[in-house]
Chain A
Amino acid sequence: MGLLARLEKIARRWIFLVMGLLARLEKLDRRWIFLVMALLVLGPLIWPVGLKLTVSRPVQMFADAIDAVPEGSTVLMSCDYDPASRPELVPMTKTALRQLWNRHCKVVVTVLWPGGPGIVDETLREVAAEPKYRDRGYGYDWVNLGYKAGNEAVMVLMGQGLTGTFPQDYEGHSTTDFATLPIMKNVRNYASFPLLVNISAGYPGTKEWVQQVNSRFHLPMVSGCTAVSAPEYYPYLQSGQLRGLLGGMAGAAEYEKARGEGLGPASRGMDAQSLAHVFVAFCIVLGNLVQRGRKSGGAA
């Protein structure tokens, strides 16, 4: 038997094997995909690998924008999300708060999502309870004004006066009671803030803040958002309406790295997300190979 004939025989055997495999994959129970995904996500969460991260330009811009805020000034932070976005947005909220407090800034927090006040309050208190920030007092260094219904209308109203829009804070103290909330003494409207830090999971969120507040009241702002909404905000970043952008858990992890926070919750999550992304990419390629295999099999 000649070499060519032998090679052809081997090739045929391989093609037969691959076609058989592809045919079997076509009928693959999707629960196998679920199982692999679960293992790929769970594994790195239990045993973090600590994959190396590179800080991207939008993330560095976000950190730089906060660093450019004058020390001791009062910054507005709007946390527009609910528990569904906890893994992506809570880590960046914490890191931003730490960065602001490291610059001795006072922080006024608002929430425009009805499901958000609980998780936002919990997040703020967790950071306030850290040893480094125990001296940051509620009402002095930070205040949580809680939730207000009305979306864009609330944003515009805040431009006329913050205490009018939020007559009480999350705990029920009057925002004009300066003995309890001295932080509010110097807060009138957007002109009182050098920067807006918006952490957003969708509507109402970054887009509405840009359209209603940044363009109208010229308040500089940075945004941290879910990965799925980040592409929508890139035009605002390029136009300079956003001074920085954190996109999803990747953005939060890079921000942790930029701030030297080590293996924070977002960085730990990135191991799992990396493997999940690779698996989804693999599924796209494999799914198309199966499709091609079926087509060529059918044609034959």
Chain B
Amino acid sequence: MKREVPLFLTAVIGLFMILSFFVPHQLVSVPADFLQQSAVIVVAFGYVLGGANVLKVNFDGIYKRQSGWPYKLVLVVALLVTVGVGLAEGRTWQDPHSISIWIYNHLYSPMQATLFALLSFFIASAAFRAFRIRTTEAALLAIAALIVMLGRVPIGDHYLTARIPVKWLQMSSIQQWIMDNPQNAAKRAILIGAAMGVMATGLRVILGIERSYLGGED
């Protein structure tokens, strides 16, 4: 029963949600809405579960003095302080002078921006050290990458190919062609393949063939 009941519920609800996509009648849409709302509530509980899991994993790491434990300590303290401040401030946390907004504007926001900005340095370093052209395919990839990279910015059109009188030979036109045609064809193939994979997995879950989401081994 431990496995049959979840499998049965998954099959019934899965089929019902597919049905709701095609049948707008109240008999279907009202329960479907209820299920959607339940999903949103479950996701909200997921945050609580996620937070508890972060605390558990990191407390363990700190207690056992695992490598990098001081960083775990910073994470736990930051998490507890942010949640504590938010709870203490209540509804006033959105006040422009609240501590929560200060934490968001002066810690969270710049740290996220910094982390993202570091990418530019590592991309340049990786371009120098790792982007090796060893095969014809790699050469084609590199040429396409160079054209798109330079064609996407004004320097490509207005400086590198400024003297070429034919519009379609200019950097931006070539990069737009690459984006519209070869890139699009490949992307579309990937999208279609992924969508078919999702459908197949969905069907396997609904029909009870795919059971890994239940956890454990039978």
- Using a CB–CB cutoff of 8 Å, the interface residues on chain A facing chain B are 28, 30, 33-34, 36-38, 41, 51-54, 56-57, 82-87, 114-115, 118-119, 121-122, 148-151, 153-154, 156-157, 160, 164-165, 170-172, 216, 227, 231-232, 234-235, 238, 247-248, 250, 270, 273-281, 283-288, 291
- Using a CB–CB cutoff of 8 Å, the interface residues on chain B facing chain A are 21, 29, 33, 36-37, 39-40, 43-44, 46-47, 91, 94, 101, 104-105, 108-110, 112-113, 115-116, 120-121, 123-125, 127-133, 142, 145-146, 149-150, 152-155, 157-158, 172, 176, 179-180, 183-184, 187-188, 191
- 8 Å CB contact of B40 from A56, A154, A279: A154
Knowing A153-B43, A235-B187 touch, does A283 contact B94 (C-beta < 8 A)? no
- Please state if B21 and A216 are interface contacts (CB–CB under 8 Å): yes
- Please state if A153 and B39 are interface contacts (CB–CB under 8 Å): yes
- 8 Å CB contact of A153 from B40, B109, B155: B40
Q: How many A-B residue pairs have CB under 8 A?
A: 159
Bound Cα distance from A57 to B124, whole angstroms:
29
- Please state if B113 and A84 are interface contacts (CB–CB under 8 Å): yes
**21 sampled A-B residue pairs with Cβ under 8 A:** A51-B154, A52-B154, A83-B109, A83-B112, A85-B116, A122-B105, A148-B40, A149-B40, A153-B36, A234-B180, A234-B184, A276-B120, A277-B149, A277-B152, A278-B150, A278-B155, A281-B149, A283-B124, A285-B146, A287-B132, A288-B131
The A contact surface, by secondary structure, is helix
- Return chain A residues, CB-CB under 8 Å to B121: 33-34, 37-38
Most chain-B CB neighbours within 10 Å: which of A34, A53, A87, A284?
A284
Most chain-A CB neighbours within 10 Å: which of B40, B46, B132, B153?
B153
Give the nearest-CB partner of B139 in chain A.
Answer: A288
